[in-house]
């Protein structure tokens, strides 16, 4: 049997687990997608390829992760398909002139794993505010209902 295959998207390579998560997302060209907890940006770059000519905003609370994602995504950033921002999801707010997103997704993000209910509710409210009406959130491969109000 050999080592697990890694999926190739654009210039990036994804682990089998991350590739399966990206493959399962309901993506279409032209979508605006928010990745929460982007880490080094591998999934964000893969999604940017799939939604082109759409746009991906990749966020992370870690300055190191944002530096890594920015460096690795330089081509996508220059093409206008990707933007990386340092912000904790529970503090997320759309910037002036920034349109809402069609889809948000997160893979292994602590604030969304159920261990911190009050913080998770705050994060879910911020995510909901960043999505268009009918926008969807997928966490670890499962769609999560959002507060509306």
Per-residue pLDDT of the chain (149 residues; tens, 9 = 90+): 444 444 445 445 788 989 999 999 999 999 999 999 999 999 999 999 999 999 999 999 999 999 999 999 999 999 999 999 999 999 999 999 999 999 999 998 989 988 889 999 999 999 999 999 999 999 999 999 998 76
Assigned domain for 149 exists: no
Assigned domain for 2 exists: no
Cα–Cα separations (whole angstroms), residue 31 to 23, 47, 97, 118, 135 = 15, 10, 17, 30, 11
Number of structural domains found in the chain: 1
**83: domain CATH number?**
3.40.50.150
Say what the pLDDT of residue 144 is: 94
Q: What is the gyration radius of the CA atoms in the chain, in angstroms?
A: 15
Assigned domain for 1 exists: no
Expressed as residue numbers, the domain containing 129 is 7-144
């Amino acid at each position: 049997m050999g080592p697990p295959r890694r999926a190739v998207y654009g210039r990036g390579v994804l682990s089998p687990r991350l590739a399966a998560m990206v493959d399962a997302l309901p993506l279409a060209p032209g979508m605006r997608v928010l990745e929460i907890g982007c880490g080094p940006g591998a999934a964000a770059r893969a999604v940017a390829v799939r939604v082109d000519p759409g746009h991906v905003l990749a966020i992370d609370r870690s300055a190191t992760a944002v530096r890594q994602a920015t460096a690795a995504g330089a081509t996508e950033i220059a093409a206008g398909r990707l933007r990386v921002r340092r912000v904790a999801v529970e503090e997320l707010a759309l910037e002036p002139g920034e349109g809402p997103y069609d889809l948000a997704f997160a893979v292994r993000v602590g604030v969304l794993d159920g261990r911190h209910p009050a913080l998770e509710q705050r994060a879910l409210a911020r995510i909901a505010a960043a999505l268009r009406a009918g926008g969807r959130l997928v966490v670890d491969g499962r769609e999560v209902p959002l507060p509306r109000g």
